[in-house]
Amino acid sequence: MRVLGVDPGLTRCGVGVVEGVAGRPLTMLGVGVVRTPPGDDIGPRLVAVERGIEEWLDRFSPELVAVERVFSQHNVRTVMGTAQASAVAMLCASRRGIPVALHTPSEVKAAVTGSGRADKDQVGAMVTRLLRLSAPPKPADAADALALAICHIWRAPAQNRLQQAVARSRLQQTAAPQPSAVKGRTR
């Protein structure tokens, strides 16, 4: 499985591509950051993020795009920019018919480090170890994007089994004969 991880942001949008399957060594195919000038208007910045993500999609042809789920932050301006960059990534993937998966920051940290409260240095260190890199990817947004891809590769088999079980259950419920109403006379 080839996954493009996206750590959304307007100033720095981390991107990283990882290939592999759960239980086997993973391979980093590329890592980087799509940057936009903080002083520019929002429209041109979103277009720049779109162009950057489109280039990564063209270059690596991922089977899935894993995006960090936006969570509430104290700084509304920061969360808005993150949400907008996240939407651009999802739009780019969806336009091409590439499935999108969302993972929370704590889910990613727990998958990669074993603790949902790990700090950025711990995530970077584990990404370095897991991908057998000589140094942690910089900036941290790039390491976070790789961590998203790793998280999805490792969790996808279990998530797929759960989704299939739910789908089978729903199918069985709709296919099961429904009790018919018994018509009778009352005395």
Catalytic status, residue 19: no
Which residues, in sequence order, are CB contacts of 56 under 8 Å at separation 6+? 4, 15, 17, 30, 32, 34
Catalytic status, residue 50: no
> Which phi and psi angles does 82 have, rounded to 5°?
-65, -45
Strand ranges (E), 23-181:
27-35, 64-68, 100-103
**HSE toward the beta carbon, residue 145, CA cutoff 13 A:** 32
Q: Catalytic residue among 68, 107, 121, 144, which?
A: 68
Catalytic status, residue 68: yes
- Judge whether 123 and 107 are in contact, CB under 8 Å: no
Q: Catalytic residue among 41, 50, 119, 141, which?
A: 141
Say how far apart CA 126 and CA 153 lie, in whole Å.
15
Say how far apart CA 44 and CA 25 lie, in whole Å.
39
Q: Catalytic residue among 7, 41, 63, 119, which?
A: 7
Sheet architecture: strand order including 2-7: 27-35, 12-19, 2-7, 64-68, 100-103
The catalytic residue positions are: 7, 68, 141
